[in-house]
A and B are shown apart, each in its own frame.
Chain A
Amino acid sequence: MKLLSKARLREMATARELDVDEGDLTRLLPMVRDLLEVARRLRTTLRERPATQPE
């Protein structure tokens, strides 16, 4: 998966009509990258669905 760039984050913020400045985008970038990576990982998890077995 392509790493989210600051330019892409700016585009997304503009599309969502969010009032964020360059400083906000810099601070948000690692947070949103992480969040989107988690969301991507969860899709994989959901496909696998391993069973639960008490030992």
Chain B
Amino acid sequence: MSRSDEVSFLTLTEAGRRIQGGSLTPTEYVETLIDRIRRLDPMLRCVITAAGEAALAAARDAESEISRGDWRGPLHGIPIGVKDCIATAGLRTTANSRVFGDWVPEEDAPSVAAMRQAGAIVLAKLNLNEFAWSIPGEDDLYAPPRNPWSPGHYAMGSSSGSAVAVASGLCPAALGSDAGGSVRQPAANCGVVGLKPTHGLVSSWGASGPPTICEVGPIARSVDDAALMLGELTGGRESYFESLDQSPGHVRIGVPRRHIDLAQCDPQISAAFADALHVLRQLGFEVVEVEIEGLADAAAADFVVLNTEAFAAHEVTLRTKKNEYGQSARLYHLQGAFLSAADYIVALRVGDAVRDRVNEALSAVDVLASPVVPVLTAEAARAAKAQPHTGGGAVFTAPFNLTGHPALALPCGMSAEGIPIGLQLVGRARGEVDLLRLAHAYEQATPWHAMHPSLDVAARLSVER
């Protein structure tokens, strides 16, 4: 492996150690990744705006600070990506829409500000479904990212660019946003870790998402890295990363079997999930089945809330900038206009009821486990959305947006076609420490997180076509 490839696939934690120790400089790191973006992104299509000179200037500043002894912590001098619906001061934020095509925010979203405060460098703004709520297509302002494991498929969304960039070694970690599974699904589909924090733990202001259900969360190559980012996103109030040194202890894992069976998962996903449960049992954890009524209803209700809040946020621009929306995004954002206030309130009450039931289940078990998505590819997920408001591909993820519980996706297998498969773990509200510890234990016992796609071959084939 070349020095460039080795640097490109460093975990954030290891890169931080090297920068602190002086064997890697922020400038070399940023230059390496800019070169990689230049070589691979024409095939991957995950970068909307590369920060280029600004990132290099920030890297030089970080280098000066560190050489003066002003090391801020493990994220100092680390380049990260940011989903392009999350505001970045001085850097174009398009949400992949012509409506926002030239918008340069004056302020960072709090999540971005927290990353910069920790010393991280914004390297690139990353592709997404338009406004994170549309069916992506080739006519979008920026065409959809390809799955680096299988470039003939799109990557699942909506934080598709964030997951593709991290999986492909274009940045060690990225911020995504998740209102129905948009961090966890692309993470699972690209073989990386994605965390949707407890509702309200991380500010989602400035992320263009429906505020009742949308969370900003990290996408990274390991549970360690996700924990490190979460610590900074929450202002360092909790030592998520440091807590991983401790054993998770005796953990009781609940499997909502009936809900999973009703989703009729792809057989390869069912097999990978069964294998994951086997590994968890071998690690000494107890796995039991639980019955939680209403999870599918919560998924559907999440989309009622999403549609209502999406229309409310876009009502004015849907009139004033109608033709600047892509067709899918415009219709997706219009449909909430036909729901009533009572529909919205009922959906929230369904969330309250299911939250109570999930809390009750989580008093008997410590964590819930399920697949992340019932299908293998973005195209199959789209077909599952033939009725787009009933959960479809989001049947396992969306319930926990509405209930607000933290949920994490991590790789647990690979399909015969070579597409990653993910495991979802759901914890108690504000129970991220326990959730991350269990995920870390699983990750340490399995090989999936250490695998990377063979991108140079894929890029060459793409060019040769």
Residues of A bordering B, CB below 8 Å: 9, 12-13, 16-20, 24, 27-28, 31-32, 34-36, 38-39, 41-43, 45-46, 49-55
Q: Is the CB of B388 within 8 A of A34?
A: yes
Contact with A18, one of B334, B340, B349 (Cβ below 8 angstroms): B334
The complex places the Cα of A19 from the Cα of B319 at a distance, in Å, of 7
User: Taking A31-B331, A34-B388, A42-B347 as contacts, is the C-beta distance between A16 and B297 under 8 angstroms?
Assistant: no
User: Taking A19-B319, A27-B331, A49-B353 as contacts, is the C-beta distance between A42 and B301 under 8 angstroms?
Assistant: yes
The complex places the Cα of A39 from the Cα of B303 at a distance, in Å, of 10
Q: What are 29 inter-chain pairs, A to B, with CB distance below 8 A?
A: A9-B338, A12-B338, A16-B338, A17-B319, A18-B318, A19-B319, A24-B331, A32-B338, A34-B389, A35-B307, A35-B338, A35-B389, A38-B301, A39-B340, A39-B343, A39-B346, A41-B297, A42-B346, A46-B353, A49-B353, A51-B357, A51-B360, A52-B291, A52-B292, A53-B291, A54-B360, A54-B364, A54-B365, A55-B288
Q: Is the CB of B357 within 8 A of A52?
A: yes
The complex places the Cα of A31 from the Cα of B388 at a distance, in Å, of 7
The complex places the Cα of A48 from the Cα of B301 at a distance, in Å, of 15
Contacts of A31 in B (CB 8 A): 331, 335, 388-389
The complex places the Cα of A24 from the Cα of B318 at a distance, in Å, of 13
Contact residues of B: prevailing secondary structure: helix
Sample of 15 further A-B pairs with CB below 8 A, known A18-B318, A41-B300: A19-B322, A24-B331, A27-B331, A28-B334, A28-B335, A31-B388, A32-B338, A35-B304, A38-B300, A38-B390, A39-B339, A42-B304, A51-B293, A54-B288, A55-B289
Residues of B bordering A, CB below 8 Å: 254, 288-294, 297, 300-301, 303-304, 307, 318-319, 322, 327, 330-331, 334-335, 337-340, 343, 346-347, 349-350, 353, 356-358, 360-361, 364-365, 387-390
Contacts of A13 in B (CB 8 A): 337
Contacts of A38 in B (CB 8 A): 300-301, 303-304, 389-390
Contacts of B294 in A (CB 8 A): 45, 50
Most buried by B among A27, A41, A54: A54
Contact with B338, one of A19, A36, A42, A46 (Cβ below 8 angstroms): A36
The complex places the Cα of A33 from the Cα of B15 at a distance, in Å, of 51
Contacts of B346 in A (CB 8 A): 39, 42-43, 46
Contact with B254, one of A43, A46, A54 (Cβ below 8 angstroms): A54
State the Cβ distance, B296 to closest chain A Cβ, in Å. Answer: 9
Which residue of chain A has the shortest Cβ distance to B290 in the bound complex? Answer: A54
The complex places the Cα of A19 from the Cα of B323 at a distance, in Å, of 11
The complex places the Cα of A44 from the Cα of B193 at a distance, in Å, of 37
Contacts of A16 in B (CB 8 A): 337-338
The complex places the Cα of A42 from the Cα of B354 at a distance, in Å, of 12
Which residue of chain A has the shortest Cβ distance to B352 in the bound complex? Answer: A46
